[in-house]
Amino acid sequence: MIEVNARRSRRTERVAVMGLRFAAGFVIIAMAALLIYLAFEGTKTFYVDRFPLWSFLFSPEFSPDANHPGAAVFIVGTIAVTVFAIAVGGPFGVAVGIFLAEIAPYRMTQILKPAIELMVGIPSVVYGWLGLTLLVPLIRTHTSSPSGFGLAAAGVVLSIMILPTVITLSEDAIRSLPYSLKEGSLALGATRWQTIIRVLVPSASSGIAVALILGIARAVGETLAIQMVIGNSTQFPKGVFGPTAALPTEIVTDMPGTTAGSLLEHALFSMAFLLLLIAMLLIVLVRFSLRRRA
Amino acid sequence: MSATTAEPAPVRGVAATGGVRVRKTADAIATVVLWAMASSIIVMLAAFIIYIGYLGWSALTPSFIFGVPKETTAGGGIGPEIYNSFYILILTLLFTTPIAVAAGVFLQEYARPGGFRSIVQFSAESLATVPSVVMGLFGLLVFVYTFHWKYTALGGALTLTVLNLPALLRVTQEALSSVPDSLREASMALGGTKWQTITRVVLPSAIGRLTTGIVLIAGRIFGETAALIFTAGLSVTANKPYDLNPFHTAETLAVHLWYTHSESVVPDVDRIGNGSALVLLIMVLAFNVGARLIGRALTKRFTGRSS
């Protein structure tokens, strides 16, 4: 079983490393192909259909049948649900991350960590179904919203869905700090809370920023869970309970019915390309905040 | 309490606000609030599970779990959808695991920092943030438009392969980096080549963590929806619901739940939705528990250590 022929094992080694290198290269190829394909298809609205980029980004009138696919409603919808999610889920997630890193006894982490992993595993459609059967009727009966579908329902669902990302990454950020920081603060007579809020959180600020940015990335791209509760109506949200639509929800609502090569299809690909650019921008931001620390 | 308690004079500086009692009260309040927030997550999750169980319990009949879906009438089942979910899951793992593990071994054991390695790492990070609906449209462009496959199980599985590659790569890298260097050094000192060291020492030591990660990701693949709508399709093969041909359309359970709710005309949407949601949840629970059990068993078998 043990290889003794030195020349043969060197050859095995070379072939193996070549295979491994190719597998690693596949990751680059996949990302490049994705970018090229979507850039090509996603700009057809502008160079095939000659619809101005400016109107695509800023016109609220979405009527591809009349050659006017303005996406402003969906862009605003995406921004609105994302801001909602990060405003509610962000602080909550960071707080629980701090709790896990600094306060939770071993027993509690043994319960909380698997619970968070389970939250990651629950499919998007099940969150959507929960929103549909639990949250939407609740909003309908307790507010003036006639249907219950809308920005608030989508925002709450998203706030819950980004929690695992924010919690895990902010916990890591605090745990990665040198122990001496904490010791120094406690030795000066600071309480645990003072140590957390004045020493640990400021020191881990770039890591916490990364947690929030990746939470935003998750919120921007989430599709089906919010598609089931946002109302899918092409209008700016009238207040926090008003129905609206976001970029991913619009794609998934209209894509199954399109014909290949139509303006509607091109416009939906442009929206997907825009989502991809937002995701890339967020990754660059993550790199930037990590570099600032170093 | 009397005011004669020996309080230290307030220090002017970063750590000083109010007296000791104020600071201690603030600390206690903060502790209670953080405990409450963390506990509320567990309570919420438990409530979700109980609620989904309550809704879906009555729908779980043998004719629902094993029956075929109906187009327009009530009483449809989800048998073929469960089958397709597993079918696409297995195909996906078959593609994505070798690529991700090989790439992870290369990055962790061979590649030097900088250059190629940082490009791969950056690509993987970017790929990890690509929304799954965007990945679905990429799959549509490649497999449906370019290859002219129409909606197929294989197209869906290949799309999920790319979607889950970054997560699996990360799992591999973390599993490998948890193997202590002393093991590698011992193997090399005994005359093992680097490849021998990796295949006979490093990978067996990492197998437990690796498997736990893979099974957890399998749970996510099982419930994936947005990337499959435009690649694997919204229907099961007509006349042959349990289809082995990877070039046929294959609607999975998660896609079925979404499609039934938003597009279909069957009268018993609620029953199908409630039942499907419960089955999905049970599967995810099973994957989560299974991941831990299998990982623990493998670690013990290959390294003799527990956990």
Q: Look at residue B2 in the predicted model and tell me its pLDDT.
A: 43
Which positions 60-79 of A are in contact with B (Cβ < 8 Å)?
A: none
Which of A36, A96, A135, A193 best probes binding to B when mutated, by most B CB atoms within 10 angstroms?
Answer: A193
On chain A, the residues whose CB falls within 8 A of the CB of B11 are: 189
Q: What residue spans define the domains of chain B? A: 2-57, 60-303
Q: Helix, strand or coil for residue A242?
A: coil
The whole-angstrom distance between B207's CA and the closest CA on chain A is: 18
Tell if the CB–CB gap between A198 and B124 is shorter than 8 Å: no
Chain B: residue nearest A214 by CA?
B129
A16 touches chain B (CB under 8 A): yes
**Which pLDDT band holds residue B306 (cuts at 50, 70, 90)?**
low
CB contact under 8 A, A125 and B223: yes
CB contact under 8 A, B141 and A272: no
Contact A169, A93 (CB under 8 A): no
Distance in Å from the first CA to the final CA of chain B: 51
Per-residue model confidence as pLDDT tens digits over A49-75: 888 888 888 888 888 888 888 888 999
**Share of residues in chain B with pLDDT > 70 (%):** 93
Q: Residue B234's closest CA among B193, B214, B262, B215? A: B262
CATH code for B60-303? 1.10.3720.10
| Under-50 pLDDT residues of chain A | 1
3-state secondary structure of A260: coil
Residues B25-35 pLDDT 10s:
888 999 999 99
Secondary structure in 3-state letters for chain B: CCCCCCCCCCCCCCCCCCCHHHHHHHHHHHHHHHHHHHHHHHHHHHHHHHHHHHHHHHHCCHHHHHCCCCCCCCCCCCHHHHHHHHHHHHHHHHHHHHHHHHHHHHHHHHCCCCHHHHHHHHHHHHHHHCCHHHHHHHHHHHHHHHCCCCCCHHHHHHHHHHHHHHHHHHHHHHHHHCCCHHHHHHHHHCCCCHHHHHHHHHHHHHHHHHHHHHHHHHHHHHHCCHHHHCCCCCCECCCCCCCCCCCCCECCHHHHHHHHHHCCCCCCHHHHHHHHHHHHHHHHHHHHHHHHHHHHHHHHHHHCCCC
Rounded average pLDDT over B251-270: 85
* pTM, to two decimals: 0.90
